Amino acid sequence: MAAIDPLHQFAIEKVVDLPPVSVPGLGLVDLSITNSVVAMAIAAVAICVFFAIAAKGQVVPGRTQAVGEALYGLVDGLTSSMIGHEGKKYFPFVFTLFIFIMTMNLFGLLNLFGVAHMFTPTSQVAVTAALALMTIGLVIVVGFVKNGLGFFKLFVPSGVPVAILPFLVLIEVISFLVRPLTLTLRLFGNMLGGHVVLAIFGSFVAALGAYALSTGGAAYAALIPSILSFGSVVALTALEFIVGFLQAFVFAALACVYLNDVVNLGHGH
């Protein structure tokens, strides 16, 4: 029986090997194109093609246009309800974040089905960390542009007794600093864990089924756990599609929460 290696699907492999480039302060930087980069590029191209087709503006929308409008309305409602009347300004960023993460999450499932040799970029800490730092970076920039040094009021809760204010300020600062970490690990952990579980149960289906059919006799009993594992794979696959969508939505929702903190700073502090 072949060894089960559920982590092999997350291995970074070079697709196009390029010579390293020397960057001052960073040393040699490897700019080779990997399977993760290819997967992100495919997701970006697929998004552009999808919305090029969906944005026809027909009076009676087809299926593609209806899906595009539904996604647009979902994120538009999210930014408007969480950020307020200024939410429209940040809609392009939040919508791009949501649709890009969702597409990478869902396309990553194709590799599990053998439909295409796809990769799940959001299963890599480097990718999720980049998205998280980009989000928090925008929050900091918007905070200083809109509030100047008043941005630091974010860490000073109003109406708090002076005696405990230093402790609360410290807690607020730590809470803000761990935001990129929580954004990174939430998305990374959910995508990694789900794919690992799917791969393990899928291996059970193949290994136990092959053992039963090749051995025969009493070994046919192994077909029972093989069938049960197959049922688990079907259920987990449906769950993974839901998780892929929800994790993108949660990431976008948290981005709106953090933007609201600095956009409406005067109202909350």
Q: Among the residues of the chain, which ranges form H helices?
A: 35-54, 63-83, 87-107, 110-113, 125-147, 165-177, 179-215, 223-263, 265-268
Lowest mean pLDDT among 22-31, 79-88, 238-247: 22-31
pTM of the model: 0.87
User: 143-201: per-residue pLDDT in tens?
Assistant: 999 989 888 888 888 777 888 888 989 999 999 999 999 999 999 999 988 888 888 88
Dihedrals φ, ψ of 115, to 5°? Answer: -70, -40
In a domain, 211, yes or no: yes
Distance in angstroms (rounded) separating the CA atoms of residues 259 and 269: 14
In a domain, 1, yes or no: no
In a domain, 182, yes or no: yes
In a domain, 2, yes or no: no
Distance in angstroms (rounded) separating the CA atoms of residues 153 and 170: 13
pLDDT for the residue 255: 95
Distance in angstroms (rounded) separating the CA atoms of residues 194 and 198: 6
Region 26-48 average pLDDT: 88
pLDDT for the residue 266: 66
Q: Are 269 and 153 in contact (CB under 8 A)?
A: yes
In a domain, 3, yes or no: no
Nearest Cα to 39, choosing from 139, 110, 112, 125?
A: 110
In a domain, 117, yes or no: yes
Q: What percent of the chain has pLDDT over 90?
A: 42
Distance in angstroms (rounded) separating the CA atoms of residues 32 and 190: 27
Dihedrals φ, ψ of 21, to 5°? Answer: -115, 135
Q: Tell me the pLDDT of the chain averaged across its residues.
A: 86
pLDDT for the residue 40: 92
In a domain, 206, yes or no: yes
Number of domains in the chain: 1
Q: Left if phi > 0, otherwise alpha if psi is -120 to 50, otherwise beta: which for 60? A: beta
Residue 142 reports pLDDT greater than 90? yes
- DSSP annotation of 13: -
User: 85-137: per-residue pLDDT in tens?
Assistant: 888 999 999 999 999 999 999 988 876 555 455 788 999 999 999 999 999 99
The residue range of the domain holding 186 is 8-268
In a domain, 105, yes or no: yes
